[in-house]
Amino acid sequence: MKTSNRRNFLKKVAVTAASAVAVPGLVKAASEFGGTGTDDALAASAPGHGGLIVPKGEGLRITGTFLDEISHDIPHQNWGEKEWDADFRHMKSIGIDTVIGIRSGYRKFITYPSPYLLKKGCYMPSVDLLDLFLRLAGKYGMKFYFGLYDSGEYWDTGDMSHEVEHNKYVIDEVWNMYGRKYESFGGWYLSGEISRATKGAIGTFHALGKQCKEVSGGLPTFISPWIDGKKAVMASGSKLTKEQAVSVEQHEREWDEIFDGIHDVVDACAFQDGHIDYDELDAFFAVNKRLADKYGMQCWTNAESFDRDMPIKFLPIKFDKLRMKLEAAMRAGYDKAITFEFSHFMSPQSAYLQAGHLFDRYKEYFNIR
């Protein structure tokens, strides 16, 4: 047999074999979908038939995102103004109206050239990200919340009161340098993170919230604690869960006490939603909303768009997990959904390819064109 004829023969055999495998599968799919034959099965497998099979739009839309360019435990994307401008445009396209600098500095790395923090030994940043974010927020009609400085002393000692001293100067400095200049400066994020009754937490939140409001004429403040659930484990560790998790009842008791001590200077609480399991969302969310209503605070959700269930830390979340969390927030009657965080885990231009696909699924679910 000539070489060319042999090749043609082999191609025909391969096509016939592939058809023998594929067609029974299509017929089986047709019967499962209630079809009557191969034509229906082929139609079901055609483009446009692989969409969502759950009801659309039943979750709370994400209208805010953190901006994390301190990049303590996720990669820095090294974007310049061009990339950030494009990202703000992507945010705007899905309805984001609030951006939050998660912290203005962590230990020695800072996001703006702070005269006070530079004198304390912090490193000079190559770009003034605070100025950049405020300008872009103004350009795209968003409000920017300033995240306070994190010295790391709280994480080292377990006593949050250590964070008051530095931030007394940072708050005044930032308001005078940026707050008076930009209309997009919309509020303050008290960046200390807790989950339980923590040493110094109530006094620290109250002191910092009070000062933020006093210097800025009452601009809103918020916190974003986590729930001490089974997935509240150290990011640097290898475990995904722990045995000792807070009960719903204990969570309510402790946060009742915390809200009682801070509600006059903290306007909203955005509990992180990734530390509890998906079948626990409704119970904890109901408590969070009830407590917020009791103390006249807004109840937000911090819908984490990264996946805590994987041993690799951290990658964009599976869409179904994000969907279930947003639907639980809607059922609970939450006031707003923000996320940690769009640029790494939902952006079409993220370093993670999966983030762009999550962006597409999110738009599909909410019928965003």
Q: What is the 3-state secondary structure (H, E, C) of 212-269?
A: HHHHHCCCCEEECCECCCCCCCCCCCCCCCCCCCCCHHHHHHHHHHHHHHHCCCCCEE
Q: According to the model, what pLDDT value does residue 250 have?
A: 96
Question: Mean pLDDT in the chain?
Answer: 89
Model confidence band, residue 236 (pLDDT cutoffs 50, 70, 90)? low
The reply to whether CATH 3.20.20.80 applies to domain 62-365 is yes
Q: According to the model, what pLDDT value does residue 300 have?
A: 98
Model confidence band, residue 49 (pLDDT cutoffs 50, 70, 90)? low
Q: Where are the domains of the chain?
A: 3-45, 62-365
Q: Flag the least confident range among 4-13, 43-52, 99-108.
A: 4-13
Render pLDDT for 192-215 as a digit per residue (tens, 0 to 9): 999 998 999 999 999 999 999 999
Q: According to the model, what pLDDT value does residue 234 have?
A: 78
In this prediction, residues 36-59 reach a mean pLDDT of 65
**For residue 258, what are its two tokens?**
């915390």
In this structure, how many other beta carbons lie within 10 angstroms of the beta carbon of residue 102? 23
Q: What gap in Å lies between CA 255 and CA 217, rounded to an integer?
A: 27
Within the chain, where are the H helices? Answer: 3-32, 38-45, 81-93, 115-119, 129-139, 153-157, 163-174, 201-216, 248-262, 281-294, 319-332, 342-345, 353-365
Q: According to the model, what pLDDT value does residue 21 have?
A: 39
Q: According to the model, what pLDDT value does residue 223 have?
A: 98
Contact 99, 137 (CB under 8 A): yes
**For residue 66, what are its two tokens?**
């953190």
In this prediction, residues 124-153 reach a mean pLDDT of 98
Give the CB-side neighbour count of residue 319, counting CA atoms within 13 A: 17
